[in-house]
Structure 1
Amino acid sequence: MLSHKALGLSTALRQAAFAPRTLRNNALLRNTIARRSVQTKTIPAGPAADAILNQQRIKRPSSPHFTIYQPQLTWIGSIANRVTGVGLSVLLYGFSIAYLVAPGTFDSTHVIEVVRDLPEAVKYAGKFILAAPFSFHAINGLRHLAWDTGHFLTVKGAYVTGYLVLGATAVSSVALTLIK
């Protein structure tokens, strides 16, 4: 008997029970009283309609952009994960297509010869440039797998794992760069 109170329907039930029967049963009368009359004007499609629509869009308030918010580890990590994923995909597909188009230029022996002749600083910089996004994306993928299993979903857990990802990325990027 108390279920209507638990659902918050007691006011609605009272209004329905005590409303005059003429308003409940007469849809025309109910809609006339409940609605305000607003006059609209139909405009044929064309430049005039586009101009009116553009003026209305200019007057609309815009929602806050992310630049007004303080940068947070969670959304910076999310953006970085997407950027590294796209960057690694572009490299993979770019090299694959280049190999298909010119297999003589992009075969392993030719690439090894080109890299062998580079200065040591350029080799280490190139290795780090490739290792850092790979490490971040791989380790952050493990973080996402942990989230998929329901772990570390609190704000504290997200920040702890975010800092762990950054630390592990730094260590593994340096380790991958120093491998001969």
Structure 2
Amino acid sequence: MMTSRVLGLGPALRQAAFAPRAMRSNAIIRNAIGRRSIKTNSLTPQAGDAILNNQRLKRPSSPHFTIYQPQLTWLGSIANRVTGAGLSVLLYAFGISYLVAPGTFDSQHVVAFVHDLPEAVKYAGKFILAAPFSFHAINGLRHLAWDSGKFLSVKGAYSTGYAVLGASAISTVVLLFQ
């Protein structure tokens, strides 16, 4: 036979036995009357999704640019994502355009087109390609160091961030004048 001690009902039974009768009847009345005085309506799943989407549009983005001071860590993270996405878009655009019109985007036509451009446009184009490539490649080495467990402190993150910026600048200049 199970006892109240085995079931863990001892404290509840003691409270019920020693509580005044007025308190017990008060609890019964309190539970019998509905707790909500607000009437609720059921929504369709589409209406619920519409309400959630409207709420999401009003939320601030993260990190919220208007309240946080810019820091090297999150600026570097954003720059890494933007450069990676930009380089990917250029690569896929060139690859798809080569598939669509191979006669126009083959090596001979591209070299002839670039050869006829003014020097200033050539250097600007090289800079536009070299800067994101250098930053993304060198920042990738930084992330590999983080994956191996190195430079994970705040001081390490900032020192490697400044090293990435310096090495990217040097690498961009070297690529620019080749």
Band of TM-score, shorter chain: 0.7 to 0.9
Letter in 2 for 1:98: S
Alignment deviations for residues 95-137 of structure 1 (CA, whole Å, 9 cap, x no partner): 0000000001100000000000111111111101100000000
Aligned to 2:168: 169
Pairs within 5 Å for 1:1-180 = 19-23=11-15, 37-45=35-43, 65-179=64-178
Residue 6 of structure 1: aligned partner: none
CA 1:23–1:85 in structure 2 vs 1: closer, same or farther (change >3 Å)? farther
Q: Residue 19 of structure 1: CA displacement?
A: 4.2
Aligned partner of residue 164 in structure 2, secondary structure: helix
Q: For residues 163 and 63 of structure 1, do their structure 2 counterparts lie closer, same or farther at Cα, with a shift above 3 Å needed? A: closer
Aligned partner of 1:21: which letter? L
Query: Residue deviations 1:3-61, cap 9 Å, x none?
Result: xxxxxxxxxxxxx999453459xxxx8xx69x993344221437xx87xx69xx5xx99
Unaligned runs of 5+ in 2: 1-7, 17-23
CA distance in 2, matches of 1:164, 1:172: 12
Distance 2:60 2:130 in 1: 40
CA distance in 2, matches of 1:62, 1:101: 41
Task: Give the gaps of 5 or more residues in structure 1.
Answer: 1-15
Return closer, same or farther for 1:163/1:18 CA change in 2, 3 Å cut-off: farther
1:122 and 1:130 mapped to 2: Cα distance? 12
Aligned to 2:97, the other structure's residue is in SS state helix
Which protein is bigger by CA-based radius of gyration? 2
Report the residue type matching 2:136 in the other structure: H
Q: How far apart in 1 are the matches of 2:65 and 2:15?
A: 49
Task: Normalising by structure 2, report the TM-score.
Answer: 0.72
Q: 1:123 to 1:104 in 2, by over 3 A?
A: same
- Percentage identity across aligned positions? 66
Task: Output the CA distance in 1 between the equivalents of 2:13 and 2:167.
Answer: 72
Describe the SS at the equivalent of 2:162: helix
Equivalenced residue count is: 151
